[in-house]
Amino acid sequence: MPTASTVIGQLAPDFELPGSGGKGVKLSDYRGSRVLLYFYPKDLTSSCSTQACDFRDKHMEFEGLNTVILGVSPDPLKQHDKFIAKYGLPFQLLSDVEHLVAETYGVWQQKQMYGKQYMGIVRSTFLIDENGILVHEWRGLRVKGHIEAALNYIREQAEQS
């Protein structure tokens, strides 16, 4: 299993990935805004669709807190486009086909389903502040209640600053 190079309180690892809409997206392009970077296993699956729709439904609240949502999975852009169109997702989805960014963030791990082992994304979310510093992470999370928990955490951070 690769070692995560993410440390709370330090600069989040920068990256550039192809994004929905066909343009490259760099994490550092979002300096000045908080970034909620979420990694999910696969477009158009039950839990991933629920998670994306929960983010969609709270998108305006995140935006009001100067927070950009970026979703990352190993799916190709064509699949992301279908996912965005089907659910009306108002945020960027990034394609990490080679799972290099997932490895950097330590979310590409061995998993098991129906007795078979395989490598895949462990559902995780990272909060990066306006200066590019990793301030919080939720690893191996469950979808239910996560988006609300992340929103509440960001609200608390905003009130303290």
**Alpha-carbon distance values, 90 to 59, 93, 107 (Å):** 7, 10, 24
Residue 27, classed as helix, strand or coil, is helix
CB-CB contact of 126 with 40 (8 Å): no
Tokens of 111: 């998993």
Catalytic residue IDs:
48
- Unique residue bearing structure tokens 């994304």: 121
Q: Report CA dihedral (47, 134, 36, 29) to the nearest 10 degrees.
A: -130
With residue 79 as reference, give the H or E element that holds it: helix 77-87
